[in-house]
Structure 1
Amino acid sequence: MNLTVRHPVRFEGVGLHGGQKVRMTVRAAPRGHGVAFLRTDIGGEAGLIPARHDAVGDTRLCTRLTNLHGASVGTVEHLMAALAGAGISDALVEIDGPEVPIMDGSAREFVRGLGEAGLVDLGGCRPAIRIDRPVEVVQGAKRAALVPADTFSMSFEIDFADPAIGRQSAVLPLSGGAVVEELADCRTFGMLAEVEGLRRAGLTRGGSLKNAIVIDQGRVLNPEGLRRPDEFVRHKMLDAVGDLALAGSPIVGCYEGERAGHEMTNLLLHALFAAPDAWSWTELHAGEGLDLRRARLPRPAHAKPMAV
């Protein structure tokens, strides 16, 4: 099925990297529109940015989309994961700044807002990308691959020197609302020792214990601790879901990630579409794929989105 939001829903917050206040509204779009961002502070065609893998211009610590006019919007991955988890195929995302608000560092508040807005079936079967043979990209110890499978699923492994994270792995089926139930509440994370250097580079200026897990020499500094024992690897999986959503259609196949991040997933999509024998079109029918209406919402967030 092809879905969009029934009512517009607005989110307000700060950008993780720039630290600026941002207002963002997700609005309905017609079937075939896809997902696109509109920079309302720019306006017109110059401010319209397609949510596509070939519009990715930067993958340092987030995914940033840029159009041919030079307008950009960053940190799109959590919102894109929420849209994918909700099964939304078409939406216009109006935003008055260069970065999607970080909210609590996960996709939970986006999912709740989309759920409160409600979803509308636009009719028809949704086209999907079926993986017909394995495709992979490798950079040293980093690897990302897509392999044939009957539904969308993911295996992921991370390995960090800090013992608070260490080596974690997870294998999850991610169809039928599982993105919402298994990944949406898992927050971004970083090392305290790296924060000052990142801020001097103009990054993480909006970061705090309210929107990120902060690690320091084996300790989780957030007073509330972790939401899940393996929250770190699950957040990396959430990022991958959002980055894969930039393919423009759901994927029927298994994503395999080893120490992979935004760059590796984007390179993988480029490799996939450069190999026409590696994939083919199929369809997702009613009751298949990712549908928020069939899923259990994550725990309530402290701040609720505002319907407009």
Structure 2
Amino acid sequence: MAADGFQHGAFQHTLRTPAVFAGVGVHTGAYTRASVHPAPVDAGIVFVRTDVTGRDNRIPVTGKAVCKTQLGTVISNADGVTVSTIEHLMAALVMLGIDNAVVELDGPEMPIMDGSAEPFVRIIDRAGRRPQAAARRFIEIRETVEVRDGDKRAALKPAHRFEVAFEIRFPTQVIGRQVIDMAMDEFTFRREIADCRTFGFVHEVEALRALGLARGGSLENAVVIEGDGVINPEGLRRPDEFVRHKALDAIGDLYVLGAPILGRFEGVLAGHGLNNQLVRALLARPDAWRLRTFAEEIAEAV
């Protein structure tokens, strides 16, 4: 059996107790209260808009529920109810081994917190984890699936563990070309990825706000680049924080598949849009993957 820490053995997990938090949405600027609750076996991750009445306010997370990917991942249900910017919480949930949870919020966008997944890791740690009496399912990649858009590329390939490789290139000295390639488990995620923040450029801010985006963005929740430098007074948390955050986003974007992955993700200049194209390409190729559990292997070992 693969022994990556994030898998927490062969059984499903949920939260032990609810966890409550609040903050502004990076794009809407709206202040939102949210809470993550325990959920039963096989429930998956479900978002609930408590501010919506008169129509279905539940949005189960699936690959096909993703309806928009401009600067974040947005999911919707058949009644058109949406929740945006879910990727940082989703990354924390999958890498800390949470299979089932209900996320309630009273607004259209998840709080951005500090722009990384670290606050969500702390929230999950505070709530605790509870094992459940059902086998955890993994998506085992059996054949390579790849999507391209010009020089951008994203792929899932067979591997015996979850691996993440990413490459970015930006024409500013503070970023340039950055590459990471890691075997990804809970320990590595906590130590190397979780605290890496989203980033943007000063010259893009006005254009984004004209589109109704980045209204809640600030130096408190994003790394902001001007020219060849970072204007945040505290600077960077890591020299390659930018590519590590892109990897964080990809981990969260992949968890819309509903199960952790046994395979290798490779992204080159990819973003939320290409990540979701890859998710949909995988779903369209049932020959390229299978759902797998390890409960029987553990029983045989005992």
Larger CA deviation: 150-159 vs 174-183? 174-183
Counterpart for residue 233 of structure 1: 243
Equivalent in 102, 105, 109 of residue 95 of structure 1: 105
Counterpart for residue 297 of structure 1: none
* Correspondence list, 1:228-267, <5 A: 228-267=238-277
Deviation, 1:70, is 0.5
Work out the number of aligned pairs and report it.
287
Q: 1:42 to 1:120 in 2, by over 3 A?
A: same
Is this contact kept in 1: 2:50–2:105, CA < 8 A? yes
Is this contact kept in 2: 1:28–1:92, CA < 8 A? yes
Q: d(CA) in 2 for partners of 1:180 and 1:95?
A: 25
Could you say what the CA RMSD is over the residues aligned between the two structures, in angstroms? 1.4
Q: d(CA) in 2 for partners of 1:162 and 1:284?
A: 46
Mapped pair 1:71 → 2:81: yes
Is this contact kept in 1: 2:141–2:288, CA < 8 A? yes
Q: 1:28 to 1:223 in 2, by over 3 A?
A: same
Equivalent in 120, 140, 158 of residue 148 of structure 1: 158
Q: d(CA) in 1 for partners of 2:234 and 2:295?
A: 41
* Correspondence list, 1:215-230, <5 A: 215-230=225-240
Counterpart for residue 306 of structure 1: none
Mapped pair 1:126 → 2:105: no
Q: d(CA) in 2 for partners of 1:204 and 1:113?
A: 24
The one-letter code of the counterpart of 1:248 is: G
Is this contact kept in 2: 1:8–1:117, CA < 8 A? yes
Q: Secondary structure at the match of 1:204?
A: coil
Q: d(CA) in 1 for partners of 2:143 and 2:164?
A: 16
* Correspondence list, 1:129-208, <5 A: 129-208=139-218
Deviation, 1:277, is 1.0
Is this contact kept in 2: 1:86–1:177, CA < 8 A? no
Counterpart for residue 29 of structure 1: 39
The one-letter code of the counterpart of 1:235 is: H
Identity of aligned residues (%): 51
Mapped pair 1:60 → 2:62: no
Q: 1:236 to 1:228 in 2, by over 3 A?
A: same
Q: d(CA) in 2 for partners of 1:9 and 1:259?
A: 35
Cα deviations by residue, 1:2-43 (Å, 9 ceiling, x for unpaired)? 111111001100000000000000000001100010000014
Deviation, 1:276, is 1.2
Q: d(CA) in 2 for partners of 1:49 and 1:208?
A: 28
The one-letter code of the counterpart of 2:191 is: E
Is this contact kept in 1: 2:153–2:268, CA < 8 A? yes
Q: d(CA) in 1 for partners of 2:171 and 2:120?
A: 31
Q: d(CA) in 1 for partners of 2:103 and 2:82?
A: 13
* Correspondence list, 1:281-296, <5 A: 281-284=291-294
Deviation, 1:285, is 5.4
Deviation, 1:44, is 7.3
Counterpart for residue 15 of structure 1: 25
The one-letter code of the counterpart of 1:155 is: A
Larger CA deviation: 41-50 vs 65-74? 41-50
Is this contact kept in 2: 1:13–1:23, CA < 8 A? yes
Deviation, 1:177, is 3.5
* TM-score relative to the length of structure 1: 0.91
Mapped pair 1:80 → 2:90: yes
The one-letter code of the counterpart of 1:181 is: R
Deviation, 1:213, is 0.1
Q: Secondary structure at the match of 2:216?
A: coil
Q: d(CA) in 2 for partners of 1:9 and 1:222?
A: 30
Deviation, 1:86, is 1.0
Q: d(CA) in 1 for partners of 2:71 and 2:210?
A: 15
The one-letter code of the counterpart of 1:215 is: I
Q: d(CA) in 2 for partners of 1:66 and 1:285?
A: 33
Q: Secondary structure at the match of 1:124?
A: strand
The one-letter code of the counterpart of 1:105 is: G
Q: Secondary structure at the match of 1:46?
A: coil
Q: 1:224 to 1:173 in 2, by over 3 A?
A: same
Deviation, 1:175, is 2.2
Is this contact kept in 1: 2:96–2:186, CA < 8 A? no
Deviation, 1:182, is 1.7
Structure 1, unpaired ranges of 5+: 289-308
